[in-house]
A and B are shown apart, each in its own frame.
Chain A
């Protein structure tokens, strides 16, 4: 009886409560999305998402490894029900083709685009078009100029160059003849690393740059370039090598010529790290971690899920020196012979980087 009597009031009250709660929830949600939604996100896209990976060039080993971390991340997000599909394109080094690919991704209405830019400017317009369509655009490694992206993820190339130059200056006690080996000309990354090194070189007037080279980030062209430099320069005290497998090529050139190895900087190329150990080099290396790709996918999905993500995620440069090289070489067999041994990563690290 009582319950029957009471039931209408109860239900009315509960309905009222529910209504208030719903209204509050909607308020909270809209307020939340207004303040927290990341750039480009409109909130109209629902999981599971389709992710487009617009690669500039898939052939180099670094790229293959990066694609590996992206695919692994997508698999993980698939099991979580957040991603349903990964579309991969390869512009074969042609920035113009990359524009065409991103345009096709917009046409196919993907939910997220992760991209390594083939040119720092060329993609600006097509990427802002994607952003206008509410597509989460996460750009990593080679960055675009436009800020109309959800997030940019990178290490600091200028710090890269400065760190390398500083280590070399310390090794040589601030004086000596050095050779600078750069990546390809006209590429922002190689230009930024070189620029970052300049203030340190200026501060050490005792360091004399005998000559500079530009080669691809591969060991073979670097070895060739260094071989001819060795013929021309009987006295070299150090090599400031700014990336990729260039250092490995340089070390091999010294070795072939029977010249005594000199202090050298470099990147986490397995070939270089192994030579470093084998020849007992005085070395220093940092890296552009391949898992930036995985982090980019993770960031895009987080943003689509309504989480706030920083517009720029600065990834600290992991440094390899004599004290840490063994931890890297211990994992060497998990990486391709001409690949890069990147530092470990997990979801906790990603969350920490995104919480900056």
Chain B
């Protein structure tokens, strides 16, 4: 009982410190969720909640994939193509001899392998991640178009219904993935991601295998993006070789919105997830407010600027006091 409170106190203090910068974002997201529930009370039903979280789920996954790398001081422009490739692999393998388990395995392996190779190039050849992943995005898009030149393929109906039916399976999966991330952060490799992003030389001198950490980060990021593609394929019941394209920019937007910095080591996964939730709920709220499309473009920009500015203003206000 004597040792536990002190370490618990330390843990609490660290978590409070990390949440402090995010208070404003939490407020903005909560406000939008409440507004959405007022405009559309059906969101509070199981089916309504399930449908909403399903539309958010792939963005949440790719945001994690992006934030993972940004925390490590990297970035990837290959998110969208990886989502497409994941969807294409799922849609082309699940109807074959391998079946659904084989399809899931193929998607996961492809994501891990592509991520690991990208990571190895970035880490060992010391090339900038932005260039390597930009080149990678062209290659991956090409491969997806070769595998499936036009939308099609096959996803078993039961898989679509399980993942994207009227039950909150997607949300539960997201919770599970976040718990897994939490557990991963408790491992030396997990801490290494932050450490190597914040101060690579310091991390190296403290015994963090900086290069291996980078490769692992890229591999996990690839895995998450490919799995997002698998989900998109299940949600839509088919594969589409270009469906992922908008995810690249949206994943960066969500991560930055969530307070993840471009320079590595700064930010939290929970912030990034909140950022993606804001981007997603914003679309529904603007619909129910009846904004015409042109106004939606403007409103979208204002909301994003506001969501970044509010935490900053709160910080200044707190500092002045």
Interface set of A (CB-CB < 8 Å, partner B): 55, 58, 87-90, 92-97, 99-101, 103-105, 107-108, 119-125, 145, 185-188, 191
Contact = CB atoms under 8 A, between A and B. Distances in A.
27 contacts: A87-B290, A89-B293, A90-B296, A92-B246, A93-B246, A94-B250, A96-B232, A96-B243, A100-B280, A101-B283, A104-B288, A105-B287, A107-B40, A107-B42, A108-B288, A119-B242, A121-B152, A121-B236, A122-B151, A122-B240, A124-B238, A125-B235, A186-B151, A187-B242, A188-B150, A188-B151, A191-B149
Given A107-B48, A125-B160, A97 B283 contact: yes
Given A55-B293, A100-B55, A89 B287 contact: yes
B168 interface: no
B238 A122 contact: yes
Given A121-B152, A122-B240, 17 more contacts: A90-B293, A95-B240, A95-B243, A96-B55, A96-B232, A104-B40, A104-B284, A107-B42, A108-B40, A108-B288, A119-B242, A119-B243, A120-B152, A120-B240, A122-B151, A123-B236, A186-B149
Contact of B235 (A58, A99, A107): A99
Nearest to B292: A88
Given A88-B293, A95-B243, A96-B55, A121 B237 contact: yes
B214 interface: no
B40 A125 contact: no
Contacts of B150: 120, 186-188, 191
Contacts of A58: 293-294
A284 B245 CA distance: 34
A122 B232 CA distance: 8
B287 A122 contact: no
B58 interface: yes
Given A101-B283, A121-B240, A125-B235, A96 B151 contact: no
A122 B153 CA distance: 11
A105 B287 CA distance: 8
B246 A125 contact: no
Interface residues of B, number: 42
Contacts of A125: 160, 164, 235-237
B119 interface: no
Given A96-B232, A186-B150, A121 B293 contact: no
B71 to A, nearest CB: 25
B94 to A, nearest CB: 14
Given A121-B236, A125-B160, A99 B288 contact: no
A123 B240 CA distance: 11
Contacts of B246: 92-94, 96-97
A94 B292 CA distance: 17
Most buried by B among A88, A108, A121, A187: A121
